[in-house]
């Protein structure tokens, strides 16, 4: 398992590093600079060979790479023999050096474009575009969309990726075709493309399976069908169509989603999921599975108070809750005082008092008690998109690359202005996890993420920090402005400051990884 994750990590990061260094290598050779070493990875060399003037190497630490160019030491320009200066990096003109340095980030942007292009022209395997839980007071609900709707067309054009909404001509969404409970419906709507996109992503497709538990923790299934539950039914979707309130209760056998034993027909009238769950508690003594505690964080308020795994949470400060989401929302709405949590443990009611932990997340104060839900959620179906054709793939590929650049820059801007927490920065472990998760989801997701990280790598390298590509470009422009290179002392100070900043960033990212995973 560990070896598999390492292999996926190397397969994910390797091409990004290779193309970045290849960009430097290409422009160096183009301008006649001798490349002494082309290495993937750092540290001791595992494998190497020499061709012409260049040693090609694979090194042991797969977290980067480097291209060693002849004459790249700015403090040793005079030590280059006259007949060798034509091959020296620092003896090339300013614009030649500019393009050699820019070549790495430029290669990362080109790699992202080509990944998007080949995904688009070959057809991507993508999860269906499903909307999550929509409240009746929400904008999407007022335009006719409902919880669990799957988007099929926008403005009569097939759609496979929600970000493609921004490509709609005129910037408006006037028609949406959705699949709702196996039938297609076309809705007349009135949205600006960006407004619809921003509203849609507020409702991630996290829909609960129709699983309930009794006071002893025994599981049951609820279904709208008397001939066996369906695998695509959700607790959050029973109130979408209010024509019928017929529900059936089944026993639940782990590992068998269908063909469960029918226990009885439920005679419950309801207009919303919350009302349904409240009546399930009152009439049947059954609770939503996501109210069951899956785990308790060590040292958290819940842990100190005595909460345990498999406790069923029923109320907070005597306010009944029907879902884990409702529990979190209720907690945020309470004053900053100790709270009372009522649970069922082995069929008996128990009450615990605790003081929630106050933490700032994305500039918002959030109250946490340190419990995770046992809830189970529907998995998304995958669809294979149609090829966009050559010109369509070029056009959309350029758009997606530029969109990735804009979103990455916006993300960094929020970090710099403290709109976003530095805790969001991830290191090698975070990259490894998302790479493994995306690989296990689908190859399309894996390559899409690779394109996005390639853009991130390109932009990070363009930061005006000495020791990064952007720092070298900054020195070139300062040289143009000053009509000569900076003094050795200034260069040394700048490089030391840049290296310190880079080390601090790396330590912060690694620290975040350890607090996140350990």
Q: What is the pLDDT of residues 223-268, one digit of tens each?
A: 999 888 888 899 999 888 765 678 999 988 776 555 678 899 988 8
Give the mean pLDDT of 12-40.
94
Q: What pLDDT was estimated at residue 242?
A: 62
Contacts of 136 (CB under 8 A, 6+ apart): 272
Q: What pLDDT was estimated at residue 352?
A: 96
Residue 412: is its pLDDT beyond 90? Answer: no
Confidence of residue 55 (pLDDT cuts 50, 70, 90): very high
Three-state SS string over 415-472 comes to: HHCCCCCHHHCCCHHHHHHHHHHHHHHCHHHHHHHHHHHHHHHHHHHCCCCCCCHHHH
Residue 444: is its pLDDT beyond 70? Answer: yes
Q: What pLDDT was estimated at residue 497?
A: 80
Confidence of residue 439 (pLDDT cuts 50, 70, 90): confident
Q: What pLDDT was estimated at residue 83?
A: 85
More confident residue, 97 or 169: 97
Q: Which of 62-76, 201-215, 296-310, 314-328 has the lowest mean pLDDT?
A: 62-76
Alpha-carbon distance of 390 to 203, in angstroms, equals: 33
Query: What confidence tens digit (pLDDT) does each residue in 334-385 have?
Result: 888 899 999 999 999 999 999 999 887 766 788 999 999 988 888 888 888 8
Catalytic residue among 4, 21, 78, 215: 21
Q: What pLDDT was estimated at residue 202?
A: 86
Q: What pLDDT was estimated at residue 239?
A: 83
Q: Where are the domains of the chain?
A: 2-123+430-517, 125-205, 212-377
Give the CATH architecture of domain 125-205. Roll (2.30)
In percent, the amount of the chain with pLDDT more than 70 equals: 95
Q: What pLDDT was estimated at residue 168?
A: 59
More confident residue, 234 or 198: 234
In percent, the amount of the chain with pLDDT more than 90 equals: 44
Q: What pLDDT was estimated at residue 517?
A: 66
Residue 22: is its pLDDT beyond 60? Answer: yes
Residue 126: is its pLDDT beyond 90? Answer: no
Q: What mean pLDDT, rounded, does the chain reach?
A: 87
21 is catalytic: yes
Contacts of 361 (CB under 8 A, 6+ apart): 421
- Write out the two tokens for 404: 């990735």
Q: What pLDDT was estimated at residue 441?
A: 79
Of 3.40.190.10, 2.40.50.180, 2.30.42.10, 2.40.10.480, the CATH number of 212-377 is 2.30.42.10
Fill in the DSSP letter of residue 79: G
Give the mean pLDDT of 292-302.
93
Q: What pLDDT was estimated at residue 363?
A: 66
More confident residue, 493 or 279: 279
Confidence of residue 509 (pLDDT cuts 50, 70, 90): confident
Helix pair angle (94-122, 2-30), 10° resolution: 130
Query: What confidence tens digit (pLDDT) does each residue in 173-197 have?
Result: 889 999 998 899 999 999 888 788 8
Phi, psi of 513 (to 5 degrees): -60, -45
Here the contacts of 437-444 (C-beta below 8 Å, separation 24 or greater) are: 439/8, 439/12, 441/127, 442/125, 442/126, 442/127, 442/382, 443/125, 444/119, 444/124, 444/125, 444/126
Alpha-carbon distance of 356 to 343, in angstroms, equals: 17
Q: What pLDDT was estimated at residue 255?
A: 64
Residue 169: is its pLDDT beyond 60? Answer: no
Query: What confidence tens digit (pLDDT) does each residue in 419-433 have?
Result: 766 777 777 888 888
Query: What confidence tens digit (pLDDT) does each residue in 133-155 have?
Result: 998 888 899 999 999 999 999 98
Bridge partners (DSSP) listed for residue 377 = 208
Q: What pLDDT was estimated at residue 289?
A: 95
Residue 165: is its pLDDT beyond 90? Answer: no
More confident residue, 73 or 245: 73
Same CATH topology for 125-205 and 212-377: the answer is yes
More confident residue, 395 or 502: 395
Confidence of residue 494 (pLDDT cuts 50, 70, 90): confident
Confidence of residue 82 (pLDDT cuts 50, 70, 90): confident
């Amino acid at each position: 398992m560990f070896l598999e994750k390492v292999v996926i990590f190397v397969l994910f990061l390797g091409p990004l590093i290779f193309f970045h260094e290849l960009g430097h290598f290409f422009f160096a050779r183009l301008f006649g600079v001798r490349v002494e070493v082309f290495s993937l990875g750092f540290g001791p060399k595992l494998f190497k060979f020499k061709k012409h003037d260049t040693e090609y190497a694979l090194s042991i630490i797969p977290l980067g790479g480097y291209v060693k160019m002849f004459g790249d030491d700015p403090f040793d320009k005079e030590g280059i023999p006259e007949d060798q200066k034509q091959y020296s990096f620092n003896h090339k003109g300013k614009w030649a050096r500019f393009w050699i340095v820019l070549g790495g980030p430029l290669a990362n942007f080109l790699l992202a474009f080509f990944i998007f292009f080949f995904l688009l022209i070959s057809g991507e395997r993508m999860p269906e575009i499903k909307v999550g839980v929509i409240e009746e007071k929400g904008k999407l609900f007022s335009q006719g969309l409902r919880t669990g709707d799957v988007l099929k067309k926008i403005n009569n054009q097939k759609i496979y990726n929600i970000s493609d909404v921004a490509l709609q001509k005129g910037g408006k969404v006037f028609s949406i075709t959705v699949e709702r409970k196996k039938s297609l419906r076309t809705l007349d709507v009135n949205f600006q493309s960006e407004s619809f996109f921003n509203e849609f992503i507020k409702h991630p497709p996290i829909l609960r399976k129709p699983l309930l538990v009794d006071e002893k923790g025994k599981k049951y299934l609820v279904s709208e069908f008397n001939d066996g539950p369906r695998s695509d039914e959700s607790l959050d979707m029973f109130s979408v169509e209010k024509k019928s309130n017929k529900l059936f209760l089944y026993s639940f056998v782990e590992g068998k989603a269908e063909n469960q034993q029918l226990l009885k027909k439920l005679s419950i009238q309801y207009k919303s999921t919350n009302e349904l769950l409240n009546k399930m508690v009152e009439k049947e003594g059954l609770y939503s599975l996501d109210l069951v505690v899956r785990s308790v964080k060590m040292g958290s308020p819940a842990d100190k108070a005595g909460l345990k795994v498999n406790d069923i949470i029923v109320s907070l400060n005597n306010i009944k809750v029907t879902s884990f989401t409702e529990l979190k929302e209720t907690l945020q709405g309470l004053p900053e005082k100790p709270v009372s949590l009522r649970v069922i443990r082995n069929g008996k009611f128990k009450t615990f008092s605790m003081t929630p932990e106050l933490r700032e997340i994305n500039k918002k104060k959030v109250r946490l008690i340190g419990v995770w839900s046992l809830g189970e959620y529907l998995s998304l179906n995958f669809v294979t998109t149609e090829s966009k054709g050559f010109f369509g793939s070029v056009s959309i590929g350029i758009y997606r690359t530029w969109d990735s650049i804009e979103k990455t820059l916006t993300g960094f801007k929020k970090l710099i202005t403290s709109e976003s927490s530095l805790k969001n920065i991830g290191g090698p472990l975070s990259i490894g996890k998302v790479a493994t998760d995306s690989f296990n989801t689908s190859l399309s997701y894996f390559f899409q993420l690779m394109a996005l990280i390639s853009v991130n790598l390109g932009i990070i390298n363009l930061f005006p920090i000495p020791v990064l590509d952007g720092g070298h470009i900054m020195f070139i422009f300062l040289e143009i402005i000053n009509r000569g290179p900076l003094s050795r002392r200034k260069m040394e100070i700048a490089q030391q400051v840049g290296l310190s900043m880079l080390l601090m960033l790396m330590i912060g990212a690694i620290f975040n990884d350890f607090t996140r995973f350990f």
